[in-house]
Structure 1
Amino acid sequence: MKFKAKITSKRSLELFIQVSATVAKLAKVCVLRVCQDKLCFSLAGPGAVHEARLWCEVRRGAIFHQFRMEGVSEELNEIHLELTAEHLFRAMRSAGKASSLKLQLTNKRRPCLTVAVELASQTGHPRVMVHDLPVRVRPRRWWKECPEPSVEAADASVHLPPVRTLKSIVERMANMGDHMLVEASPNGRMNLSIETDVVSIKSYFKNLGNPPKSAVGTPQDRDPESMVQVQVDNRKLLQFLEGQHINPTTALCNILSNTLLHLVLVHEDVSLQYFIPAS
Structure 2
Amino acid sequence: MKFRAKINDVGCLNHFTRVVNTITKLTKACVLRLTVNNVYFVLSGKVANGGVSMWCELLQVNFFDEYQLEGVSADSNEICLEVAPENLSRALKTAQNAKFVKIKLTKKHCPCLTLAAELPSLSSVSRVVTHDIPVDVIPRRLWHDFKEPSMPDFDVSIYLPPLKTMKSVVDRMKNLSNYLVVEANLSGEMNLKIETDLVSVTTHFKNLGNPPWADDASQGGGQSRPVEAMAHARVDIRKLQQFLNGQQVNPSKAMCNIVDQRIVHLILLQEDVSLQYFIPAVA
Interval of TM-score (by shorter of Structure 1 and Structure 2): over 0.9
Do structure 1's residue 247 and structure 2's residue 236 form an aligned pair? Answer: no
| 1:217 equivalent in structure 2 | 219
| 1:33 equivalent in structure 2 | 33
| 1:259 equivalent in structure 2 | 262
**TM-fit CA distance, 1:5:** 0.8
Flag the 1:48–1:183 CA change in 2: closer, same or farther, 3 A: closer
Inter-partner Cα distance in structure 1 for 2:171 and 2:70:
44
**TM-fit CA distance, 1:47:** 7.1
**SS of aligned partner of 1:220:** helix
**Is contact 2:254-2:266 (8 Å) kept?**
yes
Task: Output the amino acid matched with 1:231.
Answer: R
Q: Which stretch of structure 1 is more off in the superposition, 43-52 or 15-24?
A: 43-52
Inter-partner Cα distance in structure 1 for 2:124 and 2:209:
52
Inter-partner Cα distance in structure 2 for 1:165 and 1:148:
30
**Is contact 2:45-2:53 (8 Å) kept?**
no
Q: Which stretch of structure 1 is more off in the superposition, 192-201 or 115-124?
A: 115-124
Q: TM-score, normalised by structure 1?
A: 0.95
Inter-partner Cα distance in structure 1 for 2:37 and 2:217:
23
Structure 1: which 4+ aligned runs deviate by more than 3 Å? 44-48
Inter-partner Cα distance in structure 1 for 2:22 and 2:217:
25
**SS of aligned partner of 2:82:** strand
Inter-partner Cα distance in structure 2 for 1:147 and 1:100:
31
| 1:167 equivalent in structure 2 | 167
**TM-fit CA distance, 1:237:** 0.4
**TM-fit CA distance, 1:147:** 2.5
**TM-fit CA distance, 1:49:** 2.2
| 1:158 equivalent in structure 2 | 158
Flag the 1:137–1:12 CA change in 2: closer, same or farther, 3 A: same
| 2:12 equivalent in structure 1 | 12
Inter-partner Cα distance in structure 1 for 2:252 and 2:219:
21
Segments of structure 1 that go 5 or more residues without pairing to the other structure are: none
Inter-partner Cα distance in structure 1 for 2:44 and 2:189:
35
Inter-partner Cα distance in structure 1 for 2:198 and 2:46:
38
Task: Output the amino acid matched with 1:77.
Answer: N
Inter-partner Cα distance in structure 2 for 1:47 and 1:85:
21
**Is contact 1:180-1:194 (8 Å) kept?**
yes
**Is contact 1:18-1:246 (8 Å) kept?**
yes
| 1:116 equivalent in structure 2 | 116
Q: Percent identity?
A: 48
| 1:104 equivalent in structure 2 | 104
Task: Output the amino acid matched with 1:134.
Answer: P
Inter-partner Cα distance in structure 1 for 2:3 and 2:265:
32
Q: TM-score, normalised by structure 2?
A: 0.94
**Is contact 2:44-2:52 (8 Å) kept?**
no
Task: Output the amino acid matched with 1:83.
Answer: V
**Is contact 1:22-1:243 (8 Å) kept?**
yes
Query: In the comparison of the two structures, how many residue pairs are matched?
Result: 279
| 1:137 equivalent in structure 2 | 137
**TM-fit CA distance, 1:56:** 0.6
Inter-partner Cα distance in structure 2 for 1:78 and 1:48:
28
Q: Which stretch of structure 1 is more off in the superposition, 155-164 or 194-203?
A: 155-164
**Is contact 1:33-1:79 (8 Å) kept?**
yes
**SS of aligned partner of 1:102:** strand
| 2:63 equivalent in structure 1 | 63
Inter-partner Cα distance in structure 2 for 1:31 and 1:83:
6
Flag the 1:217–1:11 CA change in 2: closer, same or farther, 3 A: farther
**Is contact 1:46-1:145 (8 Å) kept?**
no
| 2:235 equivalent in structure 1 | 232
**SS of aligned partner of 1:15:** helix
| 1:54 equivalent in structure 2 | 54
Do structure 1's residue 270 and structure 2's residue 270 form an aligned pair? Answer: no
**Is contact 2:44-2:53 (8 Å) kept?**
no
**TM-fit CA distance, 1:215:** 10
Task: Output the amino acid matched with 2:255.
Answer: L
Flag the 1:201–1:80 CA change in 2: closer, same or farther, 3 A: same
Inter-partner Cα distance in structure 2 for 1:247 and 1:21:
13
